[in-house]
Amino acid sequence: VEYLYETKPELHPQLRKVYRPGGGRPRIEEQIPGLLEAIEEIAKIGGASDDRRRSEIIRPCLTLDDLREKLRQR
């Protein structure tokens, strides 16, 4: 597997599912592309802006349970 990974870069997407050079846990973004964008969109829809609208800060109004449920619905 290491030989294929080193010599065939076109196989990297398929090989990453079974082999990771260096070891360790794979990043969640590699396993579920678009996850961070979905969380950001859900937070913006269910969030509140700054009280005086002087900044771009959005305060999420969701609990983690609410966020999990919204992600399951997608």
pLDDT at 28: 79
Q: Let me know whether 40 and 72 are in one domain.
A: yes
pTM confidence score: 0.40
| Phi/psi of residue 13, nearest 5 degrees | -60, -40
Sign for the CA dihedral angle at 7, 10, 13, 18 comes to negative
pLDDT at 56: 61
pLDDT tens for the chain, 74 residues long, are 788 878 888 988 888 777 766 667 777 777 788 888 887 777 776 555 555 556 666 566 667 787 778 778 87
pLDDT at 11: 85
Q: Let me know whether 38 and 74 are in one domain.
A: yes
Q: What is the DSSP letter of 52?
A: T
> For the chain, how many structural domains are there in total?
2
Q: Let me know whether 49 and 64 are in one domain.
A: yes
Q: Let me know whether 67 and 40 are in one domain.
A: yes
pLDDT at 70: 77
Q: Let me know whether 22 and 47 are in one domain.
A: no
* Host domain of residue 23: 1-28
First to last CA, the chain: 35
Q: Let me know whether 44 and 71 are in one domain.
A: yes
